Structure 1
Amino acid sequence: MFDIFQNTTRPKPQLFFEKNDASDVRLGEIVSAQPEDYENAEIVILSCAQDEGVARNKGRIGAALAPDQIRAQFYKLTDFGINVKIFDIGDTIIQKTLEQTHDVHTKIIGQILRDEKRLIILGGGNDVSYSD
């Protein structure tokens, strides 16, 4: 089995917004990033905070900042009473080359899908959503 935890970094705790109001629960209060919660998760959030692919395609740099910016806003949203276990595994560890990063990212995705989880992927560049 590919070790997804050795190839990812946990999301920053400060991104998990907490209102501490039982009548207004936020996603940051119900999504877990604790490795022991992975097994029971139904949905997994994974990101790849890099923009090397964007740079190679002569695009505007900044995609590497997207995952944390998305998380910062996403975790402020109300939970709308959803009853699914969501786990945020964090970021794929960036490798020496874009191709190596794609390879590791693909292996992480494969393991999560083999574990029968639904997956939400946050960019990075479009090369992460569809490697080119």
Structure 2
Amino acid sequence: MSHYTLASKDNWIGRSSNQELYLNEKIRFSSIEKPLQSEENKVIALLGYSSDEGVRRNQGRVGSALGPDAIRKQLGKMPNHLNNETRLIDFGNLECPDKDLEGLQSELVIAVKFLLENNATPIILGGSHDLAYGHYNGLSQHLPEGKIVGIINFDAHFDLRSNTDGNNSGTPFYQIAMEHDTKGTPFRYLALGIRKDANTKDLYEFAERHSAFNLPQKHFNMAHSEHVELLLMQFIEDVDYLYISIDLDGFSSAYAPGVSAASPMGFSPDIVLKSLKLILESGKLLGLDVVELNPNFDVDDQTAKLAASLIHYVIHNL
């Protein structure tokens, strides 16, 4: 692949126990250009989307291309509670040195399909949110025709902007919706944490026309946890598989200052973790990504640690 680099072991730092007590000791390395050895053990695959071209096009502050490696550096320090049979593999980064965002998205489709074909659960590290288009298509193209993949997006933004002027970090779910329109298939989309001060009225109108569900930020909190749980259960029941996207700029900047579009008005980690618990218990998770980490604006690696903690929770509860 023209946009691909292998993983660097230098990103996996931390304590050494000689007992694999930490994830930097558990991690293994492979290539998306090399099939895994055939086995029945669970494989968790980390793949970086090291690009902020979509953010640049969307007039955001660049720097999220550095996000994947920043997440790895925090994840490697965390304790390992995975069983011996589960394999945690870093497959390196897809990059965008020539601003060919559309080519990069196409390569992500191929990479995600490769991971699924090798019985791995893809966890994509971002990187700008335009990765969602490639990630989703890789998941859906892997499945038999007729299977429905529901999208749950933890985000302040719908990311349903038109791509008339090209793809960017605000267009991925619009692109997906348009493809479903062309095929005449249902677009299953739930956005959690949406803010009116971050979305224009035409985006709300587009979401309504396409039967896309959303829960506003003012109701996406622990005080409304029963309502959140009911909405999630209803959505999960109507789909065969789930694709989960966590945009770090949906969190309040009190938790996530290092993102492409920071705001103090976002949600908190507790309601996201509660939601992830319900999602994981369904057994329908097919792929997950964490996006928009911008280390250039992080404070004491707080946002990178948040991203790593979310991934740590998911991989230990799959």
Confirm or deny that 1:61 pairs with 2:44: no
Task: Report the CA distance between 1:56 and its aligned residue.
Answer: 0.7
**Pairwise CA RMSD:** 2.4
Q: How does 1:1-132 map to 2 (within 5 A)?
A: 8-22=4-18, 25-35=21-31, 38-39=36-37, 42-83=43-84, 84-94=86-96, 96=98, 97-130=100-133, 132=172
Structure 2 length-normalised TM? 0.37
Secondary structure, counterpart of 1:126 in structure 2: coil
Contact 1:7-1:92 within 8 A present in 2 as well: yes
Structure-1 separation of matches of 2:24 and 2:89: 11
- AA in 1 matched with 2:79: T
Contact 2:48-2:126 within 8 A present in 1 as well: yes
- AA in 2 matched with 1:94: C
- Tell me whether 33-42 or 106-115 shows the greater mean CA deviation: 33-42
Gaps of 5+ in 1: none
Q: Can you list the C-alpha shifts for 1:16-73, whole angstroms capped at 9, x where unaligned?
A: 1252224672101111014589435611100110100001111111110100100000
Structure number with higher helix proportion: 2
Q: Can you list the C-alpha shifts for 1:89-115, whole angstroms capped at 9, x where unaligned?
A: 010143641101111111111111122
**% same residue:** 27
Contact 2:53-2:96 within 8 A present in 1 as well: no
Contact 1:37-1:87 within 8 A present in 2 as well: no
Secondary structure, counterpart of 2:130 in structure 1: helix
Gaps of 5+ in 2: 135-171, 173-318
| Alpha-carbon spacing, 1:23–1:109, altered in 2? closer, same or farther (3 Å) | closer
Contact 1:45-1:90 within 8 A present in 2 as well: yes
Greater RCO structure (CA 8 Å; 6+ sep): 1
- AA in 1 matched with 2:125: L
Contact 1:123-1:129 within 8 A present in 2 as well: no
Contact 1:47-1:124 within 8 A present in 2 as well: yes
Structure 1 length-normalised TM? 0.83
Task: Report the CA distance between 1:129 and its aligned residue.
Answer: 2.5
Contact 1:51-1:62 within 8 A present in 2 as well: yes
